[in-house]
């Protein structure tokens, strides 16, 4: 028996909040840790005690083992829950806890070390007879060997970081001659993200589903599986929607996969909560992908269909208790679906976004659960993950769960920075998803950002109208009066699109006119905070709005979210001409600078690699020219929109000569 009364949660955000809740319910004292950027965070205020563990950058705080162990000692915590991400899969951290007499709430450092390396794990699984994806997991990292092995495996091939996680360090290669370039790029990402450039190769299983099994084991050696989760809806190899049970799963396959997962866990003497991930091919054959030796982001869907609290189980197992249930006592009932709300710009390719949370409202209602760690007024910084919250629904059937989730998403308000909310709503209506037929490439195949742009998304006419009214109120309209009606012109911009409106007011009705859209008659019925109650062309509806200090307005009409800006008529219509100079598209750290002053660059050449929220973004030259100025250095932290590199294009050069 391990005795502990006080638990330190070595994490932040929604998962820290989630763990604190159950720990408190079970009567434990809780200690939160936080970085300087997180002083005001929700997990800090919820815990009984909180302690600052360092600067905002993760290696100075949430990844700083010394600092976290010292925090535990200082607050008399006897156990540490690592959450997911950060140090949760660090064998070294688990070992340091073991050595310091702290209970690490998770498996042994040995099990983490084996499963933490995809190559080592494959060897172990091979011995345990768990089916593997055909691939190369030999010791060589030599390019020639990798080329030969990839050619043998047959394309498409997945290049993967052995130490990888979160979908990073993965490349799909479709042709032999592209292999080495992708190997090099995966290596660089792996080294910088995971501190190891070790790679492995796997055959790419096409048209596959990602189905994973939740396992649990106790210190006495009992192990069970708690059903499966389908996580096939992914972007950039990372999950966006997860559900349990998997659509079209049958009892036989569930049992076969469950037993394989338990076998995998037993092979490493696993203790606690773990997830064994598989790819399931069209013919129902399944292959081991990896084991995540921690609580998973998507654990709530399993909780909803089993009626269990997995954090409760984790704490019991860590304290030395036996598993509360045996395999035949575990029952699955109903259907649960989770969506991950990310701060990201979907249109530009899911690029993480930072910014101030100006309006955050969570949905309530039957069958709805929200796991989040954000508060109004919080700054979303570039230091951490872009996942802000999870919305989870439960229903008697899959259709009911989807319906409830759609409603809950519509009721969710997140204004002040771009999020994937409208995109998630679209996914819930996707016919392939609705039919339960999505494979892991579905989002990429159907929603490539290029396609989105070609469609030229423009917000609904009523959104423009609301923006026109609210933005003209704030700038002190200079209107004119004829026949007793006050009217004034407004020029608005949404991304690259500009429109001119005439807004007129007659009594409490605003009339918004533009040559291209139907005239919108709007009455503002009530206004409370950022919440508006409206009547638009006779129909009552609601909208949430927020204004920032640059006088940009964010509007959420439940289905759509858009940001508008008001332009003055003296500004020339800039129909988004592409500048030659490079500015930071998001705030973050400069990971690499590929050019120097005087270099000639061609359109499309790689110039700068920017890291934000753990994602690497390659910034390329938009035009051909000569680099005239490099403003940044490697490792420098930059804010969004700061200049990075200036280029003199050939045209400009000509001008200056003349």
The residue ranges that bind ligand ADP (CB under 6 A) are 11-15, 83-86, 133, 158, 160, 164-167, 170, 202-205, 208, 210, 234, 237-239, 277, 279, 289-290, 292, 296-298, 385, 387, 440, 614
Nearer to Mg ion, 243 or 277 (CB): 277
**Partner in contact with 78, chosen from ligand ADP, Mg ion, none, beta carbon below 5 to 8 Å by kind:** none
The question of whether 294 is a catalytic residue gets the answer yes
Q: What's the CA angle centered on 202, arms 196 and 208, to 5 degrees?
A: 125
Least Å distance between CB 232 and ligand ADP? 7
| CB closest to ligand ADP, residue no | 85
**Partner in contact with 385, chosen from Mg ion, ligand ADP, none, beta carbon below 5 to 8 Å by kind:** ligand ADP
Nearer to Mg ion, 293 or 393 (CB): 293
Cα 305 vs. chain centroid, distance in angstroms? 24
Site for Mg ion in 589-618 (CB under 5 A): none
For residue 487, the cross-strand partners are 480, 504
**Partner in contact with 69, chosen from ligand ADP, Mg ion, none, beta carbon below 5 to 8 Å by kind:** none
Least Å distance between CB 379 and ligand ADP? 15
Least Å distance between CB 147 and ligand ADP? 18
CB 408 within 8 A of CB 393: yes
- Across 83-237, the runs of DSSP E, i.e. the strands, are 103-104, 135-136, 157-161, 170-173, 199-203, 209-217, 223-235
What the block records as the tokens of 576 is 């988004």
**Partner in contact with 352, chosen from Mg ion, ligand ADP, none, beta carbon below 5 to 8 Å by kind:** none
Closest Cα partner for 141 from 180, 194, 175? 180
**Partner in contact with 330, chosen from Mg ion, ligand ADP, none, beta carbon below 5 to 8 Å by kind:** none
Nearer to ligand ADP, 35 or 393 (CB): 35
CB 474 within 8 A of CB 433: no
Please state the φ and ψ torsions of residue 439, each to the nearest 5 degrees.
-105, 175
Helix (H, G, I), strand (E, B) or coil at 433: helix
Structural Rg of the chain based on CA atoms: 27
Site for Mg ion in 274-293 (CB under 5 A): 277
Least Å distance between CB 274 and Mg ion? 12
Nearer to Mg ion, 173 or 289 (CB): 289
| CB closest to Mg ion, residue no | 277
CB 553 within 8 A of CB 467: yes
**Partner in contact with 297, chosen from ligand ADP, Mg ion, none, beta carbon below 5 to 8 Å by kind:** ligand ADP
Strands 561-567, 387-395: pairing is unpaired
Stretch that binds Mg ion, among 98-106, 116-124, 151-159, 271-279 (CB under 5 A): 271-279
Least Å distance between CB 129 and Mg ion? 21
Least Å distance between CB 277 and ligand ADP? 5
Stretch that binds Mg ion, among 269-277, 280-288, 395-403, 415-423 (CB under 5 A): 269-277
CB 379 within 8 A of CB 398: no
Alpha-carbon distances, residue 24 vs 34, 180, 390 (angstroms) = 19, 51, 21
What the block records as the tokens of 391 is 């919305």
Q: What's the CA angle centered on 349, arms 611 and 390, to 5 degrees?
A: 85
Give the active site residue among 96, 294, 358, 491: 294
Nearer to ligand ADP, 78 or 238 (CB): 238
Least Å distance between CB 124 and ligand ADP? 15
Nearer to Mg ion, 216 or 288 (CB): 288
**Partner in contact with 239, chosen from Mg ion, ligand ADP, none, beta carbon below 5 to 8 Å by kind:** ligand ADP
CB 521 within 8 A of CB 509: yes
Nearer to ligand ADP, 119 or 514 (CB): 119
**Residue 531 and residue 41: Cα distance in Å, rounded?**
24
**Residue 156 and residue 326: Cα distance in Å, rounded?**
42
Cα 52 vs. chain centroid, distance in angstroms? 25
Catalytic center residues: 294
* Contacts to Mg ion by CB under 5 A: 277
């Amino acid at each position: 028996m391990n005795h502990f009364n006080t638990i330190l949660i070595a994490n932040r955000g929604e998962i820290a909040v989630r763990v604190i809740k159950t720990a408190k319910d079970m009567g434990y004292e809780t200690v939160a840790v936080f970085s300087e950027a997180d002083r005001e965070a929700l997990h800090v205020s919820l815990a009984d005690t909180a302690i600052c563990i360092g600067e905002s950058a993760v290696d100075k705080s949430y990844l700083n083992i010394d600092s976290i162990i010292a925090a535990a000692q200082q607050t008399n915590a006897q156990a540490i829950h690592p959450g997911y991400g950060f140090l949760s899969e660090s064998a070294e951290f688990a070992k340091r806890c073991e050595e310091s007499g702290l209970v690490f709430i998770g498996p042994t450092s040995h099990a983490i070390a084996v499963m933490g390396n995809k190559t080592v794990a494959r060897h172990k699984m091979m011995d345990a007879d768990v089916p593997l994806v055909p691939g190369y997991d030999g010791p060589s990292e030599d390019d020639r060997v990798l080329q030969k092995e990839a050619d043998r495996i047959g394309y498409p091939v997945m290049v993967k970081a052995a130490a990888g996680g979160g979908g990073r360090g993965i490349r799909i290669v479709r042709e032999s001659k592209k292999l080495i370039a992708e190997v090099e790029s995966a290596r660089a990402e792996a080294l910088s993200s995971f501190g190891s450039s070790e790679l492995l190769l796997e055959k790419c299983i096409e048209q596959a589903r990602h189905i994973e099994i939740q396992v649990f084991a106790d210190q006495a050696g009992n192990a069970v599986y708690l059903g499966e989760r389908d996580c096939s809806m992914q972007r950039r190899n990372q999950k966006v929607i997860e559900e349990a049970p998997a659509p079209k799963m049958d009892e036989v396959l569930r049992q076969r996969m469950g037993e394989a997962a338990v076998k995998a866990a037993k092979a490493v003497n696993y203790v606690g909560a773990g997830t064994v991930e598989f790819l399931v091919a069209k013919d129902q054959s399944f292959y081991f992908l990896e084991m995540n030796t921690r609580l998973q982001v998507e654990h709530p869907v399993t909780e909803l269909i089993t009626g269990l609290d997995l954090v409760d189980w984790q704490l019991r197992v860590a304290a030395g208790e036996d598993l509360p249930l045996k395999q035949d006592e575990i029952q699955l009932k109903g259907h649960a679906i989770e969506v991950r709300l990310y701060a990201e710009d979907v249109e530009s390719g899911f690029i993480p976004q930072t910014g101030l949370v100006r309006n955050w409202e969570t949905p309530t209602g039957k069958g709805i659960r929200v796991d989040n760690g954000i508060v109004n007024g919080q700054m979303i910084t570039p230091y951490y993950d872009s996942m802000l919250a999870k919305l989870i629904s439960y229903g008697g059937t899959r259709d009911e769960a989807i319906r409830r989730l759609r409603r809950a998403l519509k009721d969710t308000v997140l204004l002040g920075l771009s999020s994937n909310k409208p995109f998630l709503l679209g996914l819930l209506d996707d016919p392939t998803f609705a039919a339960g037929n999505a494979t892991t490439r579905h989002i990429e195949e159907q929603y490539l950002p290029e396609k989105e742009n070609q469609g030229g998304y423009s917000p609904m006419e009523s959104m423009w109208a609301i923006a026109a009214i609210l933005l003209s109120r704030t700038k002190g309209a200079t209107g004119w009066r004829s026949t007793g009606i006050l009217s004034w012109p407004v020029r608005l911009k949404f991304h690259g699109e500009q429109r001119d409106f005439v807004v007129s007011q007659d009594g409490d009705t605003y009339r918004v006119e533009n040559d291209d859209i139907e005239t919108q008659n709007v009455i503002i019925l009530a206004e409370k905070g950022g919440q508006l109650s409206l009547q638009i062309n006779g129909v009552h509806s609601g909208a949430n709005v927020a204004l920032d200090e640059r006088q940009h307005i964010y509007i959420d009409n439940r289905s759509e979210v858009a940001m508008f800006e008001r332009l003055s008529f003296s500004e020339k219509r800039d129909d988004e001409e592409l500048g030659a100079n490079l500015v930071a598209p998001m705030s973050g750290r400069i990971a690499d600078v590929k050019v120097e002053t005087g270099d000639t660059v061609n359109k499309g050449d790689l110039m700068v690699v920017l890291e934000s929220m753990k994602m690497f973004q390659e910034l390329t030259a938009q035009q051909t020219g000569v680099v005239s100025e490099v403003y940044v250095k490697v490792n420098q932290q930059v804010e969004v929109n700061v200049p990075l590199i200036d280029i003199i294009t050939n045209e400009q050069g000509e001008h200056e000569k003349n």
